[in-house]
Amino acid sequence: MSINPSRSSSFSLRINSHSSLRYMHLLISLSSMSLTRIRPISFHSHHSIFQSSKARPHNCRQILVYSSVSMDSTATELAHDYSPFLRIYKDGRVERLMGTDIAPPSLHPITQVQSKDVVFSPQHNLSSRLYLPRNANPNQKLPLLVYYHGGGFCIETPYSPMYHNHLNNLVAEANVIAVSVDYRRAPEHPLPIGYDDSWAALKWVASHLNGNGAEEWLNSYADIGKVFLAGDSAGANIAHHMAIRNTEEKLVGINLVGIVLVHPYFWGKEPVGNEPKEAEKRATVDVIWHFACPKTSGNDDPWINPLLDPKMCGLGCRKVLVIVAEKDLLRDRGWYYYEKLRNSGWGGLVEFMEITEEDHVFHLQKSTCENALAMLKRMASFIKED
């Protein structure tokens, strides 16, 4: 069954981002709010929440605000205006303003990759965007890539133009079938709901064992005996935890070969590497995590700090590729993950790639730059190698 990922009622306005406040102040203010008062508002964004506002385009842009909440007199009274990111109302409602563009599924004119949206969880109206490479042949099934998008567990979808472009390019380069997963986001759906949705998508993939599933592309073209997981930022965090869960709750038919963790969103109570020099940025990341997972035990919760998780050496795959960016605040977390896994006694192969002179998820915004292309080729070769 195909769906349209666009949300219901919407209205548009224009905001000049020259007037924006620093994102740090926004997140610190969010941390003091009671999340029990937040009402659901859907949103999308095409920027990394780990980047400073300086990295965002400073031009007037059109954005859409989606809301299912009726606007009574009290609901329209602003408590804080953090345009162009958020508005917080006196009744506790949060209105997201950042980025709502959606790229429809299509036949990509350059890569000739086809895509379509397919429901995997009717109960929660969740879908995946499927990608089929050029010249796919049912007589020669291809590896399957399950991809989890980033966004601090709070923003982004598989349908954003940046992710759609990235998956088109990756599918063409690696010659794989891809399933780009939608999951419910915080704070309306705090973690671990996003993890559970991500696991539900993987179970849906497993239902296509022996070509008996509901989706013809997976039945005809995907080799679920050769599955890879990948994600960036929060999506890399999800990919890691799906590999752990695959050890505990082995899915019949799924042979998880490897995972690719791009700029993984891991954290911890004690600063590592260069983090002591970045106290303000650390405070921002602290807030993002507690905002997404209000019932967390803290920054050493195994959900966010796998280095302290005794299950880490039980990854249910046989190889891992960790990719970091030199200027990324999360760079050292990725490095320590690689080092810990490499020395943990885990029996698989772990690889590491660092991109110099780049920041968090740079490849999504600069997909044609030399570093982004090099990273794409490394990801593709990791998938292609036996």
The set of catalytic residues is 233, 328, 360
Contacts of 121-125 spanning 24+ positions with Cβ under 8 A: 121/197, 121/200, 121/201, 121/204, 124/184, 124/197, 125/3
What is the spatial distance between Cα 222 and Cα 210, in angstroms, rounded to a whole number?
10
In three state form, how does the secondary structure of the chain look?
CECCCCCCCEEEEEEEHHHCCCHHHHHHHHHCCCHHHCCCCCCCCCCCCCCCHHHCCCCEEEEEEECCCCCCCCCCCEEEEECCCEEEECCCCEEECCCCCCCCCCECCCCCCEEEEEEEEHHHCEEEEEEECCCCECCECEEEEEEECCCCCCCCCCCCHHHHHHHHHHHHHHCCEEEEECCCCCCCCCCCHHHHHHHHHHHHHHCCHHHCCCCHHHHHHEEEEEEEEEEECHHHHHHHHHHHHHHHCCCCCCCEEEEEEECCCCCCCCCCCCHHHCHHHHHHHHHHHHHHCCCCCCCCCCCCCHHHCHHHHHCCCCEEEEEEECCCCCHHHHHHHHHHHHCCCCCCEEEEEEECCCCCCHHHHCCCCHHHHHHHHHHHHHHHCC
Alpha-carbon Rg of the chain, whole angstroms?
20
